[in-house]
Amino acid sequence: MERRHIKWLPLLLAGLFFAYQYFSSEKFVNPETGRKSHVAMSTREEALLGLQSYQQVLAQSESIDSGPELEMIKRVASRLASATGKAGADFDWQVSLIRSSQINAFCLPGGKVVVYTGILPITQNEPALATVLGHEMAHATSRHGSQRVLEQNLAQTALTGVAMSLSDMDYDKQRAVMGALGAGTQFGLLMPFSRKHESEADAIGLLYMARAGYDPRESIRFWQRMENAGGAQPPEFLSSHPSHGTRIQQLEAEMPKASEEYNKSPHADVPTSL
């Protein structure tokens, strides 16, 4: 790269703004893992955004307001919410069931849980549902969404500074450089961060379900069913989620700790199937 084509002031300003964004952000220590991170917003701001998203999802979907499936989901979510301890103590937990063929469930910041009916044939039983909801609730209590917002903001600041510094470069060369940097940021930084969050949510969710009285070994069987239902997967480095095989291996590694929690907890009285 030719030095005469590089403007250094935009890089300097971007670097200063990058440092300001990072060091002025709120620090967060995960109460389960002890992992230290920075987040883009306060818990109150996260909860407000979560509530707005929750209301938007409900307005655009067909909710199921009664019935055994909803009661079962509320029961599982309630046990898991109690198992989150200090991390979820200030959450305003709410649960909704949406009629949809999507194989999906999520928990928004602040404790808004949404389950799609399409995932129930794969969960098949309450412990497997606890696997899904424990994982999603762990994302929320670990503040992964706010961490990702900060990571994306920092990446965008860096890329903007580079783009401005190359404004005198030939357009084709500039596009090639920015394309390479953008791909490197996506595959080398953002996706690995997302996979790290997924693995952390798996480990914490496993503890939540064990403390809630659900056999953590059911998590392995659930992800095996997901693997069978999901078909071909992209290579792991191209995905924001770990592969099913990697996920199962990581869960097996966490199983002794989760089993210890399960043995200390009152076991849930659950049916063998939904």
pTM: 0.77
Per-residue pLDDT band for 235 (boundaries 50, 70, 90) equals very low
**Residue 252 falls in the annotated catalytic set:** no
The rounded percent of the chain whose pLDDT value lies above 90 is 53
| Closest residue by Cα to residue 126 from 248, 31, 233, 221 | 221
Say what the pLDDT of residue 269 is.
Answer: 65
Q: What is the mean pLDDT of residues 179-189?
A: 40
Instruction: With CA atoms as reference, report the closest residue to 248 among 271, 273, 228, 274.
Output: 228
Among candidate residues 185, 181, 184, the one with its CA nearest the CA of residue 166: 181
Most confident of 4-8, 161-165, 167-171, 244-248: 244-248
Listed residue (123, 14, 141) closest to 80, CA to CA: 141
| Average predicted confidence (pLDDT) for the chain | 80
Among residues 32, 46, 126, 136, the one annotated as catalytic is: 136
Rounded to whole angstroms, the Cα distance separating 126 from 141 reads 21
* Pair 251, 199: CB distance under 8 Å: no
pLDDT tens-digit profile of 88-98? 999 999 999 99
Mean pLDDT, range 155-162, rounded to an integer: 60
Average pLDDT of the residues in 118-141: 95
Angle at 77 between CA 129 and CA 84, to 5 degrees: 110
